[in-house]
Every structure is written in C-alpha cells, then in structure tokens.
Amino acid sequence: MKSAPFVALTFVISFASTTTKAAETSSPNPVDFSPAARRAIAAPYLAEVDAEFRRFAEEKRLPGAVWGIVIDAELVHTGTFGLADLDRRAPVTKETRFRIASMSKSFTAAAILRLRDEGRLHLQDPVAKHVPELAATPPVTRDTPPTSIEHLLTMSAGFPEDNPWGDRQLDVTDEAFRDFLAAGVSFASTTGTAYEYSNLGYALLGRIITRVAGLPYQEYIRRELLAPLGMKDTVWDPRDVPAGKIALGYQREGAAWLPEPLLNDGAYGAMGGLVTTLPDFARYAAMHLAAWPPRDDVESLPVRRATLREMHQARMPSGFAATEKSLAGEPQPNVSSYGYGLVWNLDSRGTVRIGHSGGLPGYGSNWRFYPDHGFAVISFANLRYAGTSAVNTRVGAILIEKAGLPRRPVIVSPILQQRSREVADVLIRRTAAGTPEPFAMNFFLDHDRERWRREADDLVQMLGKIEAVSNVQPVNALRGTFQILGEKGSLEVFFTLTPERNPLVQELKMKLRRAGG
C-alpha cells in the first residue's frame, strides 16, 4: 500500500543560541482521524452525494437503486431511488436485496486465503491438484507453467474473457460443470503472462473451496464469513429470499423495461451469485477497512488483517486510464491491477481505491473503499449491467476533493523522531563535541564533508534569527521532513534512514524558502 503523504506529528525540537531560545512548534492543523470527525466533515456533502446518485439513476433510466457511505465500521448514510418491482410498484428501500454479481468474487478469494491460512492449500498449488478434471486440458505450450490457484485469483490463468457467456452459467449444476471441465477448456493466452477477466477462473475457485473444505463453497463462505459478520440477509440462492424482498432485474429495450430471468444458484455462483442488502454489505466493507492500519491489536475479524491487506495489493496489471480528470478538470491519470478478488487503483495524486464492480443480466453494482481515508462507497441497481462504477468514482472524489476527508496520519517512529532532532542540532551547530554523528557510513562518501558543512551553514545563515523547528512529518517509519524556521524564511529538510538495526541518515536534502516568496 502506498504510504500517505507528509502529515505533521506531535513532537517538538527546541534549541538555544547565544542570543535567543527558539520557539517550539507543533502541527498547525493536527489531523483528527476519528470516525466522528470524519462524519462531521462528510455531513455537509451528503446531499450532493445523493444528488449525484439520483442524477446518474435518471440519466441511465434505472428502475431502482440503493447506495451508501461507510466510514470505518459504520454505515453513515444511505439513499434510494425508484422501484424494486415494477409490476408491484414496490419501492427500493435500504433493506431491498440485490444480486451483486462479481462483487461476490472477493468473498471467494477471502475463503481461499482463509483455507491457505489454515494450511489446507497453497496458492502455488496446481489447480489440477484440487480439480483433477482440469488435467484433461494440456498447457498452451510445453514451457507453460501449471495453472495455479494464484493464477485464478489474479485473472492470469490465460482463460478468455467470458462475461457474456459466464453470466449465463450461474445455475449450472456441479455435475454439468465437472463434465465441462473433463471435456477440456480453451486458453486465450499463455498462463501467467496476461490479465484476462475470467468468470470460469472464479467458478474453479469455488470448486476448490468445496473440495478442500469438504462442504459446498456456499456453506463454507456462509459459515466462515457471512455469519461471523452478521450478514443474516445475504444468501446465494434468490429462492431463499422472502417474497417481495428482492429487487427484480430488468433490461431496457427502447422505452420499455423488460424483466430478466433470475437464475438460481449453481456451480458458477462463486464468481457472482451473492444476493445481499446494503447494510449487510456495509458490514463486509467495514471488515476490509478494519484491516488498516497494521497494528498490534488482538485479531477479531473472520479473516486475518494481514490476509485482508494481502487481498488489497496490486498483483496483475489490468489497465491505465490516461485521460481521467479530477472534479476540477485537472489531469488525474490512474493505473489499475487485479489483486485477489479485488481491483486496486492508484491515481496521480496518490489516492488508492480498492473494490469491484458487478454486472449480470438484470443487475449492476460497484463498491470501492479508500484504505488511506477510511471510507467506502457502495451502490446497487436493478438494470442490466448498470455500470455504477462511474458514479461511485465521482462520489469518492466529492468526499476527498471537495469535502476534504483526510488521509490517515502516519505515526512517527521513535527513531525518526530522534534522528530529526539530531539532524537539526547538526545543522544549527548545537551538537556537543564528541557526540556521535547521525550519519551513515555512505553520507560523507557521497558528499565532501567540508563542502557540505559550508553549504549547510550558508543556508542556515540565510534564515536570519532562528525562531523554531517544526515537528517531523513522516512519510514512513524511516523517512520524513521537518523545517527550520527563521525570520527570513524556512529551510525544509528531507532525510532518509538506513535499513540497519540502528538506522542512520543515508540521504539528506535541503530546500530554502524565502519569507514571502
């Protein structure tokens, strides 16, 4: 995960000169990252969030939709639009159940990783070890590696993109799926060399869960994920939803909405079969948010926090959007990768978002969460391939760019705090004789000592009377910046520590800023 940018933390360096004692400074605007503070920041913009979703729903002529914002563990806002059942004129409520299609994939990936954590499988296992029917399919070339579980997770098995076909396979029986595999499958590319979105790959993961766990993947996921999270209204088979509680799916033909057939549960459900409510899915989103930041707390989630963070990493490059723009119209290109059942995205401002879309005949959905900001956006609709990703992206931008939801502060490490103090003392010549230098062995091999000292003295003298030293702003545990503040300007000092057991300064850069400049 990309580190958050500089955030001021709360320690103070002070020093004395022959004429004055420098003032102490702390961060002028310390970040309050509490859920309550972020709810207060978001609150004035929730009407704009609702307007954005309603505008999207009207432009796309959706029958119905529901959306929500999660901050940490709480579903803080929901909105609805339109009808769940056109014939009955039943309105969508936040409790209406929608089929979320490929948003189901991360549940399947989490189940695989949970089995891995239990030592019951390995991600490098050949798929044929657990699904022997696949052994009937020869590799693309003799030097092609065996298709592994990790290849399936990351959409790099080489199977062809299969959205239109795969979407119609949900209710295929286990027996029919077994026969299909035994007859052999086709490859679009060599295993491990390219990203290619594959519903077949996730159906195979469901079959692996069933074989390894010794019970249907649906039951394993229900028992190990859904039940512990309290997702009591989430099911695999739409026939298990009480009458009148599900949003029926539609497609648009001309001016008319036509009902789509609702396929029952089957062997392909692992790629897209879950039916859920917004509050239930918010519990799942909260689980992923709770994996951040890494910490020493006792584990309390159905999946280990480290395993969830493993799901959140970039694995297989999947896209580059060169022409994307911010809300203000500024260029903001981004790159995407497929992880373990989730799509990872990083834009040019350093914002990471992670999530997945869902699309089936009759349904379209999307969720994404922002681990550095601690919130998630979720939306479901009951129109064929409704494509709510675009509106979720815009809503996320409203909350970050306009509302200003902050990034999670990076905690300053004791060694970074110590070295920043020592570097400041060196620069303003407050180091006592005989004090060990904070510099690593490379530093004065890379810089002539006397020349570096002269240049540092010149920069400090340009500040005039020294007034204060700012708190260190950490990039991570071993890299940060601070400022020496003077009457004529400020000196920004950036430094990086070594990987030694007792880290020392390996690199230091200084930038002078004139007062009023």
Q: Is 120 helix (H, G, I), strand (E, B) or coil?
A: coil
**pLDDT tens sequence across 170-189:** 999 999 999 999 999 999 99
CA distance 319 to 242: 40
Query: What is the distance of C-alpha 276 from the center of its chain?
Result: 21
Provide CB contacts within 8 A for 433, sequence distance 6+: none
- CB 188 within 8 Å of CB 196: yes
pLDDT class of 294 with cuts at 50, 70, 90: very high
Is the pLDDT assigned to residue 11 strictly greater than 80? no
- Burial category of 148 from C-beta neighbours within 10 Å (exposed 0-12, middle 13-18, buried 19 and up): buried
Q: What is the pLDDT of residue 30?
A: 72
Nearest to 287 by CA among 307, 308, 267: 308
* Pairing relationship of beta strands 466-469 and 23-24 according to DSSP bridges: parallel
Two tokens, residue 343: 């799509």
Please report the pLDDT score of residue 433 as a whole number: 85
Q: Residue 213 — very low, low, confident or very high, per pLDDT cuts 50/70/90?
A: very high
Contact predicate 149/131, CB 8 Å: no
DSSP-assigned beta bridge partners for residue 441: none
Prior bond of 409 cis (ω within 30°): no
* Rounded Cα–Cα distance for residues 232 and 108 (Å): 18
Mean pLDDT of the chain: 93
Residues contacting 436, CB < 8 A, separation 6+: none
E strand or H helix at 213: helix 199-213
Calpha distance 326→337 (Å, rounded): 20
Q: Which residues contact 406 (CB under 8 A, 6 or more apart)?
A: 31, 32, 33, 38, 41, 373
**Res 267 pLDDT > 80:** yes
CA gyration radius, the chain: 27
For CA atoms 160, 201, 110, 99, the dihedral sign is: positive
What is the four-CA torsion angle of 493, 494, 499, 501, rounded to 10 degrees? Answer: 30
Write down the residue that tokens 């296992």 correspond to: 125
3-state secondary structure of 497: strand
Contact 456, 512 (CB under 8 A): no
Rounded Cα distance between 468 and 327, Å, is 38
Q: Region 116-137: what's the mean pLDDT?
A: 96
Q: Which domains does the chain have, with CATH numbers?
A: 23-31+409-514 (3.10.450), 35-81+97-402 (3.40.710.10)
Among 7-21, 177-191, 425-439, where is mean pLDDT lowest?
7-21
Identify the pLDDT of residue 514. 87
Report the alpha-carbon distance of residue 25 to residue 22 in Å, rounded. 9
Q: Is 418 helix (H, G, I), strand (E, B) or coil?
A: helix
**N-to-C CA span, the chain:** 35
pTM of the model: 0.91
